[in-house]
Structure 1
Amino acid sequence: MGTSTRNKGQSGHTPLVPSWLEEGGDDGREGQNAGEIKAIPPDGDINRFTGPRGTFTKYISGGGRDGSSMRKSVSQYVSRSLGGSSRATTRLGSARNSTARLYNVLNSLSRNGGINEVAHQLSINNLEGLSASSFFTKIASFVCPDGGPNDEGMARTAYFDAIAENQMLYEKKIEELTAQDCMSILQKYMSKVIMEHIKNDIANKIIILPNDINEISRIEGSVEQLIQQSVADACAEVQQNNLQMTNTKAEQITDSIYKKTYEILEGQGE
């Protein structure tokens, strides 16, 4: 599972929310005056990743059989390493913008005649009859633009994994997707985004310690199942409507879902 290259994990010195991930635009500079230099956020607690990493390593070392260790580590990760659900959401960086763009497309597709609206919106012709998997691959550069930062790489990895692992996308034409299908796609992507960040921040040893490839899959599967259920519960709690969608509205809704998901994950350690 996963195609991105794992790094050594975040340093505790890294600010809880680096300046380039602050609110306001894709690059965090929107709203600043020309020539204004944004203050560099103070370093985070050097030990803030230690506890969650240790607990997660214990979970992996035990073959993934101690679910309480896994839930505790994820809870500590949100509360201690990321500073709570709001900061955790902001820290997703590029994935927030990508999720909003995907949500906007899916919201259009879920309505009658939505395929024509999407074709016009993205300037793509001949969508009818295209398999759903081909369509989402086709719009990948729109949803997850290329870039250098690590968070953009994680957003793209999450997107392509969400497509590859969704068999329904290979079996249906784009015009056959239902509103429920579209919500399933959104939830799958959001789950993958959070999973990618967890693997890069506290779960690097998931691909080092286990001796059996099946054990790795089982361990990852258990963590992802927890995340997917949390995302589904969050979606059920965040009110959405069928009004004309705007970029701002899409960002507000998807940010609300991420924040609620992190709140649910944080509560897993109680």
Structure 2
Amino acid sequence: MGASRASGARLLGFLADAQARGVREALREFNLEALAGRPITEIFVGLADVICPGAGTVDEGIAREAYIETIIELTTEGLTDLSTFTPDQMQTVFELYVTHAIEARICNDIGTKAVTMPTDVQAAHRVEAQLRDFIRGGVSDALTRARSESPNLPPERIQSFVDTVYESAFAILQSLGQAEADQ
């Protein structure tokens, strides 16, 4: 999940920069300052090639798909104004992205038959919904733990932080999955 991790780091870096220096200045880094004041979905669409450059490999495609799914979900979470984001809202955006990235990776694994799904369509939909909730919970727990250990993230620590979140989320998912299998 290298591309997803790198994209997650770029997303988190942009969000931290927007909070620290303001949206216009953060966008200026990418010659996109004209997007300042626009709805968050427009800003994030404008940043797509910055956050998720390239889409030639499966891994890059997963990162981009996760980013697009995050943009779609922003409004349902009530996240519409980037200029007033709180640290918790930044966490929510990052949490959404990581959740979608892990879910897309698992869906890819299902497609390549590395993981199997029930053949009954309704059962498969239930599994998918449970999986999404399961992933989101694992990501949220990992992110909360990582933020408690390092609440202020300077730019040079963001990639390390993202790696820690991914590793923790997968560890939590693995242990929860094992506990579920043992029942």
Give the TM-score band, short-chain normalised.
0.7 to 0.9
Alignment equivalent of 2:67, drawn from 159, 168, 191: 159
Alignment equivalent of 1:241, drawn from 126, 136, 151: 151
Where in structure 2 are the equivalents of 1:140-155 lying within 5 Å?
Answer: 140-155=48-63
2:10 paired with 1:95 = no
**1:121 aligned partner:** 29
How many residue pairs are counted as aligned between the two chains? 173
Change in CA separation of 1:131 and 1:216 when aligned onto 2, cut-off 3 Å: farther
Q: CA RMSD in A?
A: 2.2
**AA partner of residue 245 (structure 1):** P
| Partner SS, residue 35 of structure 2 | coil
Change in CA separation of 1:94 and 1:209 when aligned onto 2, cut-off 3 Å: same
Q: Distance in 2 between matches of 1:171 and 1:244?
A: 24
Q: Distance in 2 between matches of 1:138 and 1:225?
A: 29
Percent identical pairs in the alignment equals 25
**1:75 aligned partner:** none
Q: Which has the greater radius of gyration? A: 1
**1:110 aligned partner:** 19
State TM-score, norm by structure 1.
0.58
State TM-score, norm by structure 2.
0.84
**1:61 aligned partner:** none
Which is helix-richer, 1 or 2? 2
Q: Distance in 1 between matches of 2:14 and 2:124?
A: 34
2:90 paired with 1:196 = no
**1:187 aligned partner:** 95
Unaligned runs of 5+ in 2: none
Task: Using the TM superposition, give the Cα deviation of residue 222 of structure 1 relative to its aligned residue in structure 2, in angstroms.
Answer: 0.9
**AA partner of residue 265 (structure 1):** L
Unaligned runs of 5+ in 1: 1-91
Which deviates more, 136-145 or 193-202?
193-202
**AA partner of residue 241 (structure 1):** P
Please say if residues 187 and 231 of structure 1, whose CA atoms lie closer than 8 Å, have aligned partners that are also in contact.
yes
Please say if residues 163 and 169 of structure 1, whose CA atoms lie closer than 8 Å, have aligned partners that are also in contact.
no
